[in-house]
Chain A
């Protein structure tokens, strides 16, 4: 077994025992990247030199007898909408193609403080708007499980890098499913934490009331380790939750004995592929075998989550993206007549189609005369959806659903049809709407070989419970490991 194929937790153990060095692990991943990146295209920016220097520094500290945190020396990739000081951060947009942040996101300060080795920045749908990674200005990422298929999105690069062995773990962000849907497509584990659990300071904003940074990895333990690093209160994010976070990794209770697992019937009905349903129900059966009680529940407003999401997220996006005007940073049009023309030409040339579509939709729903009909209605629907989840958690410890209605689709298949593309987030969007934590992990393969993902949804701040259930399932069935990339 090559070093790049290890899980982050296995590598951490090896590093601690002195069985390999961080430089060796980093070199192994960098040669893997060299071998597969032409096919996968997970990265927008690679920084091998700086990664090796960081690995050397960690090895030096370890040799000097310093006590290091568990993920010290472990190579990580970062989604390209998380600000990294001195390392280009593009949001996969022409608008920010040359933006070098003068500061680190809070999560990056934590990653560096934990002596992790940053490999580079990962591809995504432009400004995190998309479910296939095809709206990237730098071209699409391919699914390492089958290169003719999309890796999911928007954190497609983050999921693909982990699946291909081009990183041990990665950071993604999730506004409507952007960590979980690609995790399902690529056969990896991805956690969208409770809204407020991880600081958004330095995450380039898409829809601020829904955005959340989270970890991806090849095992539940890896995701737990990285979650421990990034969670916590931050005074620079006004929506950050003030609470204590006990370490999850090493303390997971991988047992479902006596737990009640809710199966909402709305997530197993029309629009969900049979193969997906069968695999997720088989996973439920496995958990029942381990001592859990399965309970059919109903979340009646599920169908309204997607429309409410598109109103709220587009409204917030239209406001958040107003800052891109060609003045202080990023792209500026070469020719213009006056200041207004500079703004308009810069924005028209700098944003791609999907981003413009969402800005236009958001501007429309917030415009005079339409606010009550759309935005207010969507916010009221959001309240109802959150209340239905609350009621469900009175009877259930966790809720189990498919990660997405289907497995990964072919590149180009849905890019011309926004509504079909949006439907890929059907199972994940309600979680953001309600501000809950949820995790996706693989639960088998479809006949065409592509991974099927299950989603575990928990009450607010129940990450430890989710990861415990996920680990119980993973221990019984095994994780996927690194994809062959052929």
Chain B
């Protein structure tokens, strides 16, 4: 029985990993089309990809976009999570559901809706449009993770701080915030990744001159099929992986000391 179970898990892992492995291996092809396995090995398509402004410019755009929208969404999400976790009020459940609705509504619909909304209120700048939209799509991830870690904070710990002479602000700063910090960091990393690889919403908002990396890749693949896209993808995988390791360090290590 356990043997079948193990075999099933192994199969699942292979199923999930296989495409990634193919991309990574193919990125080292020397020829002008991606091969698996490559008949000749090379890193020249990495050099090629990194020399293309279409990739580098859009990568910088995407990084900025992810950073700025995460930085803007985080404090708002913290406030909303605090209110939802700590206070009882009418319509709390409704608010909670509403806050998570961008996860439920198809993102292509959100993209279209945002485009129409921005056009109506007259926001024309591509950067502003992208940031506004990305704050909206990253926000639910932040609220969720921050809420989860806030709900785990023992309220009597905050009460103890108050009896020891800390006012509300100092209690939040010295007690609540450090205890919620793993959740905030996790949320911010999620948010960064969600923003960084978003296609469906950005699709409606980018211009010929301001593009994001996922859309640049998509555009490139329409006309070219060389291994530079595989190279870019491999670098993205590496980037996500290091983010995950960072996350484990940030959240996992704190758990060791009993948070």
Q: Do A and B truly interact?
A: no
Residues of B within 8 A of A (CB): none
